[in-house]
């Protein structure tokens, strides 16, 4: 079995808590056993040494017995004195042998014992002859001394042996004492150490266990609180279910009867909860909805959630619309537990939706009617389209529109439609307006007749409707600014077919129709006017073009045909003068000269006239024009005249740019300068100043170019006349001219949108001016001239 990490940890902790003390105690026992073994060993060595000492003492006593017994025997010769000797003699060898084996681990002592054995044997060898001598026989002193000497050596030997062993015993006792002490200390130390470690370890474990316990306690507390909360939440859910104004029903997965539902659900159906329990679900659906109800349950099962609209039955048998939303609830393995179905009574929604739909439909229909009206070209299609659309919102069997001519008192059927295909009055029928209604009631607004069979007191049109089988009708006047222009008539077979809504719609359609008809009339009128106007303009334009062409042909002829003879006259006159001049008198030659002069004069006149007429007709294009170059050009044209009259001309340059037609402007200025040179008193050399002034008028900057002379001047009463064609103030003798020059000036300025004028006093010179729009833009003062020094740099 797998363990969760905390469990593993807990087990590990437990294992450590048990194992560690055991290991420590085992260690402690081991050490103690080892120490005790050491102590016992030390004590054993002490005992052993004691045993060796006692054995040595025993051997010494035996030796003593032997000597004593021998001596007694020797002294007495009595056998019983010899007895200790014999007994000791029997034991001494084994005693010494035993001693030797006891100290086998100590080589010096072994040697000592061996020495002792040798000496004992030596002594015995000396003793045997002594015994065998006959009692009373005295023994030599020497052998007695030798024996004694040998015995002393043995005694000394044993004494030193015992002294050595005692020394060894003392040493070993000391070691045993030390070992005892060390055992006591070591045991004490180990016991304290192990006790400390165990105490620390146990404390830690206990603390940990207590922590775990506290955590577990807290978790348990939290769980308890949660349980309390969920109990409260459960109560809330119960309340929601019980008190919701929302039909809720819960069905077991296999159940086909109602088991659990809230009061709102029962109330909605007119039952109590108790009444509905165990009722088959299908009982709540009308019979024709059973199939879709079963389908609904299947859909919920398949999809998890499914909603649809259906009908439910109340206890009283009434049927009402519902919105059902079903949810399938499943467990973790996907097994269906139960279904929750929420049920809304959507009666009000349905009604509002229907009303909205109707309203939208009506709006759309009215809009369609408007569109149909706008799209129609003739009154008939216009009305026809409107009526077709109207039929879709207001049910009726026949509709027609009649237009009235109030002055003539007649009405005409314009358009209509009928379910039967035949109108009560065919289209095109002429009727009297009075046939529709008495005049005073025509204007009074919509008239609805609910039942045509009630009385016989109806106007002829309505009587005709009745005759055609219609039972109710609606007569809507078509009014344009309170003027009656016709009537819309709707008729139905059933009585009272037109409710208030139908009347409203009919009124709106009639209003639209009236406006459209009026507009159509106005449009037609406007079209007629426009056509007439266009025709008139075309006629006039053609006339003008013709006149213009004639004029052009005329001037062309003038230029060609009037000039041709003039040229030949001059040519022949010159030929005459050259070829025959020698044969003629001086005065005859002067005649020819005057012919030539007149042809020149005539030619100038024709040139000027042509220039004038050309100026009138020619297309000219205005553009920025530098006055400096215009003046230069004009002066160069007049070079001959200037030289001849020695005229002094001062130009205040630089001159600005103006908007003008260059060649026309040159002609204009040349004419003015020419006049300034010409109209000067004899013997006075002409002085002419040319300069400009800036002007602002009518929101526009303009340039006024002045040409001031020292000429004869013009009387103020003549100052306007000089600009007219052929107006001359002087005879040809004093100041010859064609009388067209200033007329050309004025015409030219007219064409260029400029002005010309003169300031003068008789005898004090004249100041002619021409005003033209400035070519400098007022905002930035830049000129249009691309060749100006600024722009070329």
In the complex, which residues of this chain contact other proteins (CB under 8 A)?
552, 555-556, 559-560, 563-564, 566-568, 570-572, 574-575, 599-600, 603, 610, 614, 618
To other proteins, the closest distance from the beta carbon of 727 in angstroms equals: 25
Token digits for 27?
């260690």
Closest CB to other proteins among 109 and 555?
A: 555
For other proteins, the closer of residues 349 and 600 by Cβ is 600
Q: Measured from the CB atom, is 257 or 603 closer to other proteins? A: 603
Identify the helix (H) or strand (E) that includes residue 559: none
Return the number of other C-beta atoms located less than 10 Å from residue 459's C-beta: 16
Q: 10 Å Cβ neighbour count for 169?
A: 19
Q: Give me the least distance between CB of 612 and other proteins, in Å please.
A: 14
What is the rounded CA–CA span in Å between residue 460 and residue 435? 5
**Cβ at position 574, least distance to other proteins in Å:** 4
Looking only at the bridges linking them, the beta strands covering 648-651 and 687-697 are parallel
Inter-CA distances, 479 with 443, 446, 483, 546, 615, Å: 8, 11, 5, 50, 59
CB nearer to other proteins: give 181 or 567: 567
Q: Residue 603 or 632: which CB sits closer to other proteins?
A: 603
Name which of 134 and 639 has its Cβ closer to other proteins: 639
Residue among 616 and 687 whose Cβ is closer to other proteins: 616
Query: Would you call 492 helix, strand, or coil by DSSP?
Result: strand
Query: Residue 619 CB, nearest distance to other proteins (Å)?
Result: 10
Judged by DSSP in three states, 445 sits in coil
Residue 122 or 603: the one with the smaller Cβ distance to other proteins is 603
Instruction: Give min distance, CB of 597 to other proteins, in A.
Output: 12
Identify which of residues 520 and 559 has a Cβ nearer to other proteins in the complex. 559
d(CA 101, CA 752): 169
Q: By C-beta, is 529 or 556 nearer to other proteins?
A: 556
In the complex, least distance from residue 789 CB atom to other proteins, rounded to whole angstroms: 34
Closer to other proteins by Cβ: residue 178 or 600: 600
Contact 638, 670 (CB under 8 A): yes
Q: How far is the CB of 560 from other proteins (least distance, A)?
A: 5
Continuous segment of H or E residues that includes residue 353: helix 347-375
Q: Are 505 and 394 in contact (CB under 8 A)?
A: yes
Least distance (Å) between residue 618 CB and other proteins: 7
Min separation Cβ 617 and other proteins, Å? 10
Nearest CB to other proteins, comparing residues 189 and 556: 556
**H helix or E strand, kind and range, residue 319:** strand 319-330
Q: Would you call 111 helix, strand, or coil by DSSP? A: helix
Looking at the Cβ atoms of 409 and 571, the one nearer to other proteins is 571
Output the smallest distance, CB 665 to other proteins, in A: 17
Smallest distance, Å, CB 544 to other proteins?
A: 18
8 A C-beta contact, residue 459 and residue 473: no
What is the smallest separation between the CB atom of 627 and other proteins, expressed in angstroms? 24
Minimum CB distance to other proteins smaller for 48 or for 614:
614
What's the CA gap between 271 and 260, in Å, rounded?
14
Strand partners, 400: 416, 489
Give bridge partners of residue 405 from the DSSP assignment: 410
| Cβ distance to other proteins smaller for residue 431 or 605 | 605
* Contact by Cβ (8 Å): 284, 264: no
| Least spacing, CB of residue 614 vs other proteins, in Å | 7
What DSSP assignment string belongs to 360-382? HHHHHHHHHHHHHHHH--SHHHH
Residue 547 CB, nearest approach to other proteins (Å): 17
Nearest-5° Cα angle at 130, 127 to 135: 145
Choose between 362 and 589: whose C-beta lies nearer to other proteins.
589
Burial class, 403, CB count within 10 angstroms (exposed 0-12 / middle 13-18 / buried 19+) = middle
∠ Cα 565 740 718 (to 5°): 145
Reference 503, options 485, 464, 466, 477; nearest CA is 477
Query: How far is it, in rounded angstroms, from Cα 712 to Cα 766?
Result: 8
DSSP-assigned states of every residue in 616-641: HHS----EEEEHHHHHHHHHHHTHHH
CB of 593 to other proteins, least distance (A): 14
Nearest approach in angstroms of CB 556 to other proteins is 6
Supply the minimum distance, in Å, between the C-beta of residue 577 and other proteins.
10
Q: Indicate the residue among 552 and 720 with the shorter CB distance to other proteins.
A: 552
Question: Checking phi first, is residue 742 left (phi over 0); if not, alpha (psi -120 to 50) or beta?
Answer: alpha
Task: Output the DSSP codes for 37-94.
Answer: HHHHHHHHHHHHHHHHHHHHHHHHHHHHHHHHHHHHHHHH--HHHHHHHHHHHHHHHH
CA distances from 632 to 43, 115, 507, 769, 782 (A): 159, 177, 81, 17, 23
- Collapsing DSSP to helix, strand or coil, 706 comes out as strand
CB of 600 to other proteins, least distance (A): 7
* CA 732 vs CA 274, 598, 676, 737, 766: distances in Å: 136, 11, 17, 7, 20
Q: Which is nearer to other proteins, 244 or 576 (CB)?
A: 576
Q: With contact defined as beta carbons under 8 Å apart, do 737 and 728 qualify?
A: yes
Contact yes or no for 297/326 (Cβ under 8 A): yes
Query: Where are any strands of DSSP class E within 562-655?
Result: 623-626, 648-651
């Amino acid at each position: 079995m797998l363990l969760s990490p905390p469990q593993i940890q807990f087990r590990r902790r437990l294992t450590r808590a048990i194992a560690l003390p055991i290991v420590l105690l085992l260690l402690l026992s081991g050490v103690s056993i080892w120490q005790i073994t050491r102590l016992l060993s030390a004590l054993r060595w002490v005992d052993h040494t004691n045993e060796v000492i006692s054995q040595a003492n025993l051997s010494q006593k035996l030796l003593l017995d032997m000597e004593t017994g021998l001596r007694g025997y020797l002294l007495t010769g009595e056998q019983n004195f010899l007895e200790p000797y014999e007994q000791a003699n029997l034991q001494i060898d084994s005693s010494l042998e035993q001693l030797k084996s006891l100290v086998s681990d100590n080589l010096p002592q072994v040697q000592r014992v061996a020495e002792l054995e040798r000496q004992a044997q030596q002594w015995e060898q000396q003793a045997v002859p002594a015994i065998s001598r006959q009692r009373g026989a005295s023994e030599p002193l020497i052998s007695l001394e030798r024996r004694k000497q040998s015995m002393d050596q043995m005694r000394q030997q044993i004494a030193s042996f015992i002294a050595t062993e005692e020394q060894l015993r003392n040493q070993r006792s000391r070691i045993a004492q030390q070992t005892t002490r060390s055992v006591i200390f070591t045991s004490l130390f180990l016991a304290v150490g192990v006790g400390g470690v165990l105490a620390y370890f146990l404390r830690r474990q206990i603390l940990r266990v207590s922590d775990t316990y506290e955590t577990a306690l807290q978790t348990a507390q939290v769980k308890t609180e949660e349980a309390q909360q969920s109990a409260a939440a459960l109560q809330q859910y119960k309340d929601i279910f019980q008190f919701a104004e929302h039909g809720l029903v819960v069905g077991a997965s296999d159940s086909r009867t109602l088991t659990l539902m809230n009061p709102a659900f029962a109330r909605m159906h007119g039952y109590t909860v108790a009444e509905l329990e165990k009722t088959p679900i299908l009982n709540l659906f009308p019979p024709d909805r059973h199939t879709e109800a079963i389908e609904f349950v299947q859909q919920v099962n398949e999809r998890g959630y499914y909603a649809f609209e259906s009908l439910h039955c109340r206890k009283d048998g009434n049927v009402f619309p519902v919105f059902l939303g079903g949810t399938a609830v499943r467990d973790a393995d996907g097994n269906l537990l139960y279904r929750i179905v929420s049920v809304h009574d959507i009666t009000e929604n349905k009604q509002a939706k229907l009303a909205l739909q109707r309203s939208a439909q009506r709006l759309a229909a009215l809009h369609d009617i408007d569109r149909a009206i706008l799209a129609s070209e003739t009154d008939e299609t216009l009305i026809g389209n409107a009526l077709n659309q109207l039929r879709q919102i207001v049910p009726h069997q026949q509709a027609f529109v009649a237009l009235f001519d109030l002055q003539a008192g007649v009405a005409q059927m314009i358009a209509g439609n009928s379910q039967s295909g035949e109108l009560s009055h065919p289209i095109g029928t002429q009727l009297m307006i009075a046939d529709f209604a008495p005049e005073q009631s025509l204007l009074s607004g919509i008239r609805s007749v609910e039942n045509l069979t009630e009385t016989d007191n109806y106007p002829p049109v309505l009587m005709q409707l009745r005759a055609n089988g219609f039972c109710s009708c609606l007569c809507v006047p078509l009014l344009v600014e309170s003027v009656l222009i016709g009537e819309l008539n709707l008729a139905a077979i059933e009585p009272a077919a037109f409710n208030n809504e139908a009347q409203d719609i009919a009124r709106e359609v009639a209003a639209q129709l009236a406006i459209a008809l009026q507009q159509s009339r106005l449009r037609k009128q406007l079209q007629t006017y426009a056509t007439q106007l266009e025709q008139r303009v075309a006629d006039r334009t053609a006339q003008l073009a013709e006149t213009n062409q004639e004029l052009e042909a005329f001037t062309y002829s003038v230029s060609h045909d009037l000039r041709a003879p003039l040229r030949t006259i001059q040519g022949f006159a010159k030929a005459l003068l050259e070829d025959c001049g020698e044969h003629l008198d001086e005065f005859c030659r002067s005649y020819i000269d005057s012919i030539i002069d007149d042809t020149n004069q005539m030619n100038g006149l024709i040139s000027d006239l042509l220039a004038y007429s050309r100026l009138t007709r020619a297309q000219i294009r205005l553009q920025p024009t530098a006055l400096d170059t215009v003046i230069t050009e004009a002066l160069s044209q007049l070079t001959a005249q200037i030289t001849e009259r020695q005229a002094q001309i001062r130009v205040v340059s630089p001159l600005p740019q103006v908007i003008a037609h260059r060649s026309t402007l040159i002609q204009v200025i040349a004419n003015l300068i020419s006049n300034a040179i010409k109209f000067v008193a004899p013997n006075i050399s002409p002085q002419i100043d040319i300069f400009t002034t800036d002007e602002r008028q009518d929101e526009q900057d303009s340039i006024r170019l002045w040409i001031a002379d020292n000429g004869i001047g013009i009387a103020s009463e003549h100052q306007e006349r000089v600009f007219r064609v052929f107006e001359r103030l002087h005879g040809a003798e004093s100041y010859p001219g064609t009388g067209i020059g200033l007329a050309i000036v004025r015409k030219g300025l007219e064409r260029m949108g400029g002005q010309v004028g003169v300031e003068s006093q008789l005898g004090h010179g004249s100041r002619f001016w021409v005003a033209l729009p400035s070519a400098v833009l007022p905002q930035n003062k830049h000129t249009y001239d691309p060749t100006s020094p600024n722009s070329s740099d």
